[in-house]
Amino acid sequence: MEKIVAMIITLLFLFSFISSENAIHVANTNNVLYVGGNGPNNYTKIQDAINDAKDGYIIYVYPDYYNENIVINKSISLIGIGEEKPVINGKGNRSAVKIIADGCLLKNFIVKSNESIHSSPPIEVFSDDNVIENNTFIYGWTASCFKNYSNNVIKNNTFMHGYYYGVYTDDGKNNQFINNIAERNGLEGFSLDENNSLFINNIATKNTHGMEIGYSENCKVISNLIYSNWQYGVGVVESVNISLLNNSIYGHPYGGILLMDCTNCTLEGNDVHDNYWGIMVEGTYRIPCKNKNNVVKRNNIYSNTIGIYFEKGRSNYFIENNLMDNEINAYFEMVIYLEDRNPIRPLYNLWLRNYWDDWNFPLPKPIKGKLWIAFKFIDFNIPWLYFDKNPALEPWEI
């Protein structure tokens, strides 16, 4: 009798456990919706599934062409499944995908707009804490647009054939762009207005310009491959504390890296070759000068027409770079304004411990350039020299 009671108790326990497991499974499947495919309750339109979903839902989308303009206004995950990515074709000139809710995931899609200057981007993001992963975005005036957004992760995507841009950001904060490709866009692969953001292991090629960072602060651009764009590789304009570290930048008929009117920026560990100018640090005609306190250090700069071109700035530092096989290793043009309170300030720039393949003497290396002297509506120029006071006699290991 005791054995029978024990068996009954055991069976009741097992039944209770199995029922509990089934209840959990049912609860989970209630949070999952399907679009396309052959399931009996599957949706035919993505937007219908979004409308019926709640925060935290997962929507799986089977491969097909979905001619829709969807708005994601709930914190959901929208995931393409199957051997081929599902395609979302935006209708008219509206965006194919617009994300306005926080905490969304968009993964494994091809998203397209019309091939027109007037067409909205395939994707627009106006929210925070999203993940955009493993998608391809094609056409639109820009292949993607991110505005007033923060803490997003954009990784493993391809942005192509934007009429102007591949990636366009405006007022972004604390975002991460990782392992993305921007190619064959009409103007810039990446056009960025960001603060405290990270760009790592991205590729920009076959655009007019590879990457432009403007009016930004405290960003890091690390280990990106920027090559064979039609004009220049990376431009940083009127920005503060931008770090370009360990990037490979080559094959640009205009130039590799441009710093224009920037302050406290660092270029270090970059491999810059086969451009017209390798690195240009430039200030425009303005008082006070904004092109100041930048550091160009430990870069490999080789096989360019001009290795480093420096124009109009003060308190900038060129330290421990390798300058090799350039037609001209370095050249500068400086301006002093006699109406300035301290007209000599722009001349305070430092060249130190660089390796020059055309100088093998333990003596200061002269760097030829030109000095413009401006006063009101009159200006003239004279030859001028900077000196690397302690040039390296062997290349630096970078």
> Per residue in 10-58, pLDDT tens?
433 333 333 333 322 222 368 999 999 998 999 999 999 999 999 999 9
Same domain, 13 and 83: no
Write the pLDDT tens digit of every residue in 258-286: 999 999 999 999 999 999 999 999 998 66
- Closest by CA position to 282, among listed 316, 265, 258: 258
Same domain, 25 and 49: no
Same domain, 18 and 52: no
Same domain, 119 and 78: yes
Q: Quick one: average pLDDT of 173-191?
A: 98
Write the pLDDT tens digit of every residue in 304-357: 999 999 999 989 999 999 999 999 999 999 988 777 666 666 678 999 999 999
Q: Quick one: average pLDDT of 179-195?
A: 98
Same domain, 40 and 23: no
Same domain, 6 and 70: no
Last residue of a domain, one of 162, 186, 202: 162
> 262-276 as b/e, with b when 16 or more CB fall inside 10 Å?
bbebbbbbbbbbbbb
In a domain, 344, yes or no: no
Q: Quick one: average pLDDT of 135-162?
A: 98
In a domain, 40, yes or no: yes
- Whole-number average pLDDT of the chain: 91
Answer yes or no: is pLDDT of 246 > 60: yes
In a domain, 77, yes or no: yes
Last residue of a domain, one of 103, 136, 162: 162
Q: Which pLDDT score is estimated for 15?
A: 35
Same domain, 156 and 40: yes
Q: Which pLDDT score is estimated for 286?
A: 64
Residues 6+ apart with CB under 8 A from 308: 277, 278, 279, 280, 281, 296, 301, 318, 321, 323, 329, 330, 331
Same domain, 87 and 149: yes
Q: Quick one: average pLDDT of 189-206?
A: 98
Global pTM value: 0.90
Answer yes or no: is pLDDT of 393 > 70: yes
CATH number at residue 75: 2.160.20.10
In a domain, 239, yes or no: no
Same domain, 72 and 111: yes
Answer yes or no: is pLDDT of 3 > 80: no
- Closest by CA position to 391, among listed 348, 358, 368, 346: 358
Same domain, 70 and 144: yes
In a domain, 287, yes or no: no
Q: Quick one: average pLDDT of 132-159?
A: 98
How far is 44 from 61, CA to CA, in rounded Å? 10
In a domain, 94, yes or no: yes
Its domain, for residue 70, covers: 33-162
Helix (H) or strand (E) holding 29: helix 2-29
In a domain, 258, yes or no: no
Same domain, 75 and 151: yes
Same domain, 21 and 81: no
Q: Does residue 242 or residue 15 have the better pLDDT?
A: 242
Answer yes or no: is pLDDT of 158 > 90: yes
Q: Is 293:318 a contact under the CB 8 Å cutoff?
A: no
Residue in the structure block whose two tokens are 């599902």: 86
Domain count, the chain: 2
Q: Quick one: average pLDDT of 121-147?
A: 98
